[in-house]
Amino acid sequence: MPIDEASQRLADVRARIARAAKIAGRKPDSITLIAISKTHDADAIQPLIDAGQRVFGENRVQEAEGKWPKLRETTPDVALHLVGQLQSNKAEDAVALFDAIHSVDRPSLVAALARAMDKAGKRPACFLQVNIGDEDQKGGCPVLELPALLKEARAAELPVQGLMCVPPLELEPAPYFALLAKIARDHGLEGLSMGMSGDFETAVTIGATHVRVGTALFGARA
């Protein structure tokens, strides 16, 4: 992707975030844009870095390990977020590589991350993933089990910043975003990781603090 195309895509997405924030009476700089770079190689990512994007998201630890150490050599101020499912046996690798983990969804992972953070002396921000649509095929903690998971995470001294969700694909996302926002308020959490290329503006109007945008920045995956 040429640098001018990357700059235009980035400017368009930022402008859309700003418009949605204005509708909601929010400041655009209160929303973190995470460029989802999963499946894209370093050559596709570099133009967005050159255009000024500094927060990126990956789905898999192994894929991120293959491309980000070299990219970060030239741009050390890049922040990297893990937005995909995390196996407990990859907790140490995730803590070493990522600045935030958006997919904390079960007690065994809480325990593994706590051990890894203590060992590394590094504590990436954490979001608890909620299975907001109660979908069997999706990861995330069931809504009714969230209070117990949050209690465990806080007891383990994980730096829980907020909640994350992926609403059901074919349904209007707003009610699910609103439910996640209410659950977060009820538990004193400020962070809301919600909204992707197709619905991030809706998410911003409902309170998203982090939006996870891939296609609108990189184009459709081949």
Tens-place pLDDT, residues 150-165: 999 999 999 999 999 9
CB 51 within 8 A of CB 6: yes
pLDDT tens digits, one per residue of 130-157: 999 999 888 899 999 999 999 999 999 9
Residues 6 or more apart whose Cβ sits within 8 Å of residue 7: 47, 51, 52
Q: Which residues of the chain have pLDDT under 70?
A: 221-222
Tokens representing 128 are 């608890």
Fill in the DSSP letter of residue 59. Answer: S
Residues 6 or more apart whose Cβ sits within 8 Å of residue 162: 127, 128, 184, 189, 190, 191, 192, 193, 209, 210
Helix (H, G, I), strand (E, B) or coil at 143: helix
Q: How far apart are CA 10 and CA 74, in angstroms?
A: 20
- pTM for the structure as a whole: 0.96
Confidence (pLDDT) at 8: 96
Confidence (pLDDT) at 221: 66
Confidence (pLDDT) at 136: 87
